[in-house]
Structure 1
Amino acid sequence: MPTLINDLIAANGHRTALVDKRGRSSWPELGSRVHRWMGVLAAEGLGRGDQVACVLGNRRETFEILLACLHRGITVVPVNWHLTEPEIAYLITDSECRGLIVEEPYAQVSGRAAARAPGEVPTQLVLGDRDVPGFRAVEPLLAAADPAEPAEQCCGSTMLYTSGTTGAPKGVVNGMFVVGAPFTRVAKLLEYARVVLDVPANERFLLDGPWYHSSQLFLALLALLRGCTLHIQERFDPEATLAVIDAEHISAAHLVPTQLVRLLRLPEHVRRGFSGASLRRVWHGGGPCPPDVKRAMIDWWGPVFLEYYGATEGGVVSLINSHDWLRRPGSVGRAVPPYELMVVDEEGVPVPAGVSGRVFVRRLTGRTFEYHKAPEKTRAVHLAADKFTYGELGHLDEAGFLYLDGRAQDLIVTGGVNVYPTEVEAVLLAHPAVRDAAVIGVPDHEFGEHVVAVIEPVLPEPVDLFALLDPHCRRSLAGFKTPRAYHVVAALPRDTSGKLRKDALRRAIAPPAPDDPDAVLERTSSAEPVP
């Protein structure tokens, strides 16, 4: 049996391990499929030290492949299925992949990407039972593979690429799974997940976001390896999320703030029909959550939320439960072991509690992470070998709870005064006419920069946003923080994890805003979303 799930197979009999829209797999069925996948990979000459790129949707086969690679010393490179041909080619090239596994809808663009990569990708497989140009169907290969336990098993790994909001995406090499490490190391990881992150065992976990994002992937994988039944939603639909939680008695899930907002905007009768009695914990992160949204979700679902601060590079470094958050609204929690949080000034000197600065994390056990083939980028985010930053600005209170003020690269300096976009965005999002909002700095010949808001309105009809939102903002914000101009867009550029692509906004809003404080810059609500 696959080493990492052999006890689960033995203990759980025919209990369900994986569920997607196509069906269900028991633990023994999952074990057999993992064995067969290991056999196929071995027959292709893929093993310890190799990389395999996966352009796959949320489905059971994705986790079969993950487990197979984790037992053959292979590093899985998850690929966002929305990427273009050159973007996929970059990931294949940079990671030096020798294998490419795709779903049929992504085969054409992935095949062209592999063809333009300078190195050969000898193994190209497609899910299903029929070949497509450039790819061999995997189901006939699996059917012919030996379902018995392979003689040799070796721990594999994953390498996720950052979203690339500044420069090219960077492959992250962290210590969660280590190629060639003993499987007992994974057992320690699972115990850490239980004690520190509250990942449950033998419950029902909902994957309701793209598996290729680190938080979705690792929480779902850790839950599965702790014996949870993993319910895999193909894509997020707020009403369907409520239905599956109640119908499948889901006890644990991960969501991002954008999903919380969309859940809250469901019709009242739909919300009233949701029980949620089975829910015990819902992790959320991946971006700032407006306090009003968080409070409304706690009022609706109860104190089941665990908010974290983390990133692909170093994982979760702080946590806060609902009870602590209600006492400290806006906080993302205190450091979890083995981390220590610190806030420093531009010279790297720690600042007192309550003073904003750059947020750094110290890993008390030493070595942190590195970017694949990018030592200069690794150095740029480290103060020392054990001290790194995710790029945020923030402050600590006297009890060590962290509050994020925004990303360092997004800080607006107007007239020599700092403006944190997240603060302004939270005020804008509180207005009922605003569906989504982003705040950026625009060059200003007098003040250096001034504050501009980009608004996705609730209603498509054009409105005078300045007249509507300026008095609203001035009731909560100092004058220098209040937007001096507004753009209207059909949809803000967010990726599938809910992260806002402010780089795309800055490119789209190239001309400086006029200096007239009464000017309103508009794009029609029927315009295409900012790319």
Structure 2
Amino acid sequence: MYPGTWAARTPDKPALVMAGSGRTLTYAELEERSLRLAHVMHDAGLEMGDVVALLSDNRPETYEAYWAALRSGLYITAVNHNLSAEEVSYIVRDCGAKALLVSPAKSELAASLDVEMPTMLTFGGDYEDALAAATAEPLAAQPHGDDLLYSSGTTGRPKGIKPPLPPIAVDEPGYVYPTVFGALYGFDEDTVYLSPAPAYHAAPLRFGGVIHTLGGTLVMMEKFDAEGALRAIERYRVTHTQMVPTMFVRMLKLPDDVRASYDVSSLRVVVHAAAPCPVDVKRRMIEWLGPIVHEYYASTESNGATFIDSQAWLRKPGSVGTALMGTVRICGDDGGLLGPGEVGTVYFEREQRTFDYHNDPDKTASTQHPEHDNWTTVGDLGYLDEDGYLFLTDRKAFMIISGGVNIYPQEIEDLFSLHPAVTDIAVIGVPDDEMGERVVAFVEVAPSAVPGDELAAELTAYARERIAHFKVPREFHFRDELPRTPTGKMVKGKLRDEYAG
């Protein structure tokens, strides 16, 4: 199934609604407009396996572009529009895009790019002219396309993740995301799914596509804010949503009377992913919403996944669950398998390798197990307990080694997640002549708190009461804002560069 299926069955049903403005795209409109755009791309010379890039804020045309690509055997590269012109230029060049679709809000950024683009259309302008001039006749063939998305670049240049194109037509079953997640979370025609995150990220983009494949309604926020999300849940009677832990924290820090003033009883499933969730935060979400909070652990690479529901999580607090796609393997630095409770690199075993890094064979090779071609890792560290539940400790790139001891920043960051003086926190290791590395914290201070030595002393005392003293940050640096992506990933490379400077 795909939007064309639902355009025939329920043409006037909203496929997409913008949460703030209420602007709506019906299934009939999504089908016709994505079909016209597919013809525009074909007439511009794009062939199966070519790439169309998208530089846009959240708006209905996002999914017109998505489905035009997926019904044409094309790759779509949705680009983070908050990047600099140089960074966007790199991605557009690296992916080899032959067409670029731009929203009016990003037209100035697009004009400053250092790329030669044979086809570039701006939503609302020449884009509408191109669609009007194109035929709405069905395509002769509709080979299934896919996304070619770039990592957040939290530890270096973004990497393009290129899967093989699915060997199916767009209206045939077998595409991985509807197949796996549709059944897992009960997505169907009655689903009203709130997407509060930017659609240039993997999970928001792909899950929106899942909703359209299965005939539900996607409610897309223009931009996340905590009370706005509650307002949208009440207004549209949202049944499912997916958030990241920082969004949970923002909602939990709303005044109790504000949270209580919104009717969220329509919710059946609240999914979270993308970044580790502090135990106290998740426990409070379950206490507030009930046992409807689900979690999966995966990556843009889609090399494997785990999942856990509320009931299992309450038995195994902090776990990201058991295998959903692939088999979890925990390995030491020498590649050998580790036993229960032993921290090592998290690999997923699949029948075959599922991705390559575009234009980067060395990086691709670095993800592979030294002895097994079909075991891959994205660099996370963790352990399995005796029941096979996976617990993540941190990313290998973020681990601090101080005095020969491994320190995982995630544990320290989780400790402060609900502290009233802390809006956000990032912990890094910096060079130290004596210890090798020392622990340093960057803190985004809550409006009610005053940054300075007194607050640093308070946070130090708070930590020393709760964790081993060697893990307590030796320095606290206060900032108005920390460099976190909208899907919750902290860009620690920027903090390391700032500290070094």
TM range (shorter): over 0.9
In terms of mean alpha carbon deviation, does 435-444 or 244-253 score higher?
Answer: 435-444
The 3 A distance-change label for structure 1 pair 260 and 474 is same
Select which of 385, 392, 402 maps to 1:397. Answer: 385
Deviation string 1:444-487 (CA, Å, 9 cap, x unpaired) is: 11111111121122135234133202221111111211112211
User: Matched residues in 1 for 2:75 and 2:224: separation?
Assistant: 27
Match of 1:122 in 2: 118
Match of 1:156 in 2: 145
What SS does the aligned partner of 1:332 have? coil
Match of 1:5 in 2: 3
The answer to whether the 8 A contact 1:351-1:357 is kept is: yes
Match of 2:235 in 1: 247
Q: How much is the aligned-residue C-alpha RMSD, in angstroms?
A: 1.9
The answer to whether the 8 A contact 1:75-1:179 is kept is: no
Select which of 262, 273, 285 maps to 1:297. Answer: 285
How far is the alpha carbon of 1:261 from its aligned partner? Answer: 0.6
Q: Which amino acid is the alignment partner of residue 225 of structure 1? A: T
How far is the alpha carbon of 1:50 from its aligned partner? Answer: 1.6
Deviation string 1:88-136 (CA, Å, 9 cap, x unpaired) is: 11112111111011012212222331xx23xx4210110113xxxxxxx
How far is the alpha carbon of 1:55 from its aligned partner? Answer: 0.3
Match of 2:302 in 1: 314
- Sequence identity, in percent? 37
Deviation string 1:238-293 (CA, Å, 9 cap, x unpaired) is: 11110111111111111011111111111222101122111111111111111111
What SS does the aligned partner of 2:340 have? coil
1:47 paired to 2:34: no
The answer to whether the 8 A contact 1:205-1:250 is kept is: yes
Select which of 357, 375, 381 maps to 2:367. Answer: 381
Q: Which amino acid is the alignment partner of residue 301 of structure 1? A: L
| Length-normalised TM-score, structure 1 | 0.89
User: Matched residues in 1 for 2:273 and 2:139: separation?
Assistant: 38
| Length-normalised TM-score, structure 2 | 0.94
The answer to whether the 8 A contact 1:359-1:391 is kept is: yes
1:441 paired to 2:429: yes
User: Matched residues in 2 for 1:410 and 1:187: separation?
Assistant: 33
User: Matched residues in 2 for 1:472 and 1:96: separation?
Assistant: 50
Q: How does 1:126-275 map to 2 (within 5 A)?
A: 126-129=122-125, 137-175=126-164, 177-178=165-166, 183-186=171-174, 190-196=178-184, 198-275=186-263
Match of 2:68 in 1: 68
Deviation string 1:285-343 (CA, Å, 9 cap, x unpaired) is: 11111111111111111111111111101266001111111111111111113x11111
> Any stretches of 5+ residues in structure 1 without a counterpart?
130-136, 512-531
The answer to whether the 8 A contact 1:15-1:27 is kept is: yes
How far is the alpha carbon of 1:145 from its aligned partner? Answer: 2.2
Select which of 314, 337, 346 maps to 2:333. Answer: 346
1:413 paired to 2:401: yes
The total of aligned residue pairs comes to 495
The answer to whether the 8 A contact 2:187-2:216 is kept is: no
Match of 1:366 in 2: 352
Deviation string 1:379-417 (CA, Å, 9 cap, x unpaired) is: 101103211112111111111111111111111111111
The 3 A distance-change label for structure 1 pair 340 and 211 is same
How far is the alpha carbon of 1:42 from its aligned partner? Answer: 2.4
What SS does the aligned partner of 1:149 have? coil
How far is the alpha carbon of 1:151 from its aligned partner? Answer: 2.7
How far is the alpha carbon of 1:29 from its aligned partner? Answer: 2.1
1:505 paired to 2:495: yes
How far is the alpha carbon of 1:344 from its aligned partner? Answer: 1.2
User: Matched residues in 1 for 2:378 and 2:237: separation?
Assistant: 35
User: Matched residues in 2 for 1:180 and 1:51: separation?
Assistant: 18
- Larger relative contact order (Cα-Cα within 8 Å, sequence gap ≥ 6): 2
What SS does the aligned partner of 1:311 have? coil
